[in-house]
Amino acid sequence: MSENFRNAAKAFIVKDGKLLLLKRRPNDVHKPGQWDIPGGRLELGENPFEGLKRETREETGLEIEMVMPIDVHFFTRDDGQKIQLTIFICKPKSEDIKLSEEHTEYKWMDLENPKDDFPEWLHGVIERFNKLELSKHI
């Protein structure tokens, strides 16, 4: 059972009203060439807070401050693995982005942009974030 189920965490990194998006490489196994946010599957037994900091550092070179969880998604990957994904609002504690080989580019997208500019699975998360009083202070 544990081999077919994994916890995952993603960083909804906001700076000056903009969200950090990363583009997956074209030959990625899961959602190739699509825009995403940092994070991914955690090691078995890994603390989600530490795992998300590790994933974000590996993918972007950024150190983050986790503010609060904003959403949980449950889905099954194309390879059959079941995932529980927790998304955390985060603030960057560092500035320089150094992408790993997993991604080809990054961009900061204004959260006031039309939602169609963002990956479809993030639409609800962005709406929820924009309703928070906190969104005006990050």
Residue spans per domain, the chain: 5-124
CATH of domain 5-124: 3.90.79.10
What is d(CA 80, CA 58) in angstroms, rounded to the nearest whole number? 25
* Per-residue model confidence (pLDDT) at position 2: 54
pLDDT digits (tens, 9 = 90+) for 38-56: 999 999 999 999 999 999 9
**pTM, 2 dp:** 0.90
Strands (E), the chain: 5-15, 18-24, 35-36, 39-41, 64-76, 82-92, 103-110
Q: How far, CA to CA in Å, does 4 sit from each of 41, 50, 84?
A: 12, 22, 11
The average pLDDT across 63-75 equals 96
